[in-house]
Structure formats: C-alpha cells, structure tokens
A = this chain, B = another copy of it.
C-alpha cells in the first residue's frame, strides 16, 4: 500500500482528489494539509510518513517551492508529485530543481493521475511531455532559466514589495511615499530590477510580478 499526502489550499479539490486516489488500487490518502506549513507541522506532530506528496505550488503561508525543498532535505524517501495550474517554464523547472519527481496540471484526466502515481511509486519518476519538453529546453537554454529562476530568490524584501506597488497606478514618487523611501532609491530599485529581470519598462515589471505570483489579480 502506498501512502499519499495532499497539500493544497483548495479544500474541495482535495476532497475530490482524496476520493479519487482512495479508489485507486494500492493507494491511500493518509494526510491532508492546507499549505506547506501545516504539512510540516503534521509531519512533526504525527508519525505519518507519506510515500508520495501531491503538492500544489501557489499556497498561503508556505508555497510549493519551499515545501518541496523542505521535503527534499527532511524526508528524502518521500516523493513529490506537483499538481498545479501553472504551466510556465519557470515554475516547472523550479519545482524540478527543488526535488519534484513529476508535474501534472490540475485539469488532467483521472487516468493521467493514476499513471503518474503508479509511475512514481514504481520508478520514482513520472516524466510526461510537459516535463520532458521543459527539461530538453532547459538543457539548451540553462542561462535563461538560471536568470529567471534565480531572479525570484535574489530579490530583496523591499524589491518584492516594490513589485507589488508596480502593479498599481501609483507613480514612483507615490510608491516612494508608501514605502517610506526616497524617490531616488525607488529609481534605483527600478533600474536594478530592469537589469535583474531583463525587462525595460514598468509594464515588463508588472507582467513579471503577475507571472510569478508576487501579485494576484
């Protein structure tokens, strides 16, 4: 029997998932959590040790990236299968770098699910087209992903906050007021981010912020 944990903030989806997975021969859902933090707590307080964790990316408190890293270092025998709506290269590569063994979209058909779980249990990995394409692409364009994937983690708290304000209609001067910083500093933030993220305009920054979940619209 393979034990499965579900980590996703959508309770409804979780309920459906649990029902489905429990209906699969040889699989049993033994834990559910709303986010990474709750998952970590449950791991620590209970003695439950899941074989496979079905993990969402966008969650409050502790997101999928962090959670997957944590699992990689604290539960090395536990395998992560990402279950996300995000289809963009950065998210997929980043999760794989953080130890994920497979990546499937939330609107997949049940059969895909079964296949993925079987494959991860038996071979340790589930390599679908989504993943293999990104991997192939990654091999040839590593720099791009490095820039992009690292970008997020290389951003300071202030830069993240700044990116949130970027997605409003405030001027840089007004943003400076909001953040209690000099307008010049804000200019520097912008210029640095232009370089870091390889964009040239405020719209570029806004798109980046949205794409990477720094702001939700």
Q: B-contacting residues of A (Cβ < 8 Å)?
A: 9-13, 15-17, 19-20, 106-110, 113, 166-169, 199-204, 206-207, 210-211, 217
Contact = CB atoms under 8 A, between A and B. Distances in A.
B167 A203 contact: yes
Given A16-B19, A20-B16, A110-B15, A200 B10 contact: no
A65 to B, nearest CB: 19
A203 B200 contact: no
Nearest to A23: B19
Contacts of A167: 203, 207
A211 to B, nearest CB: 5
A102 to B, nearest CB: 15
Given A9-B107, A10-B107, A217-B211, A200 B15 contact: no
A17 B106 CA distance: 14
A168 B199 CA distance: 10
A64 to B, nearest CB: 16
Kindly list the 3 A-B residue pairs having the minimum CB-CB distance in the complex, ordered from nearest: A16-B16, A19-B19, A10-B107
A194 to B, nearest CB: 10
Contacts of A113: 12
Contacts of A206: 203, 206-207
Contact of A13 (B106, B211, B217): B106
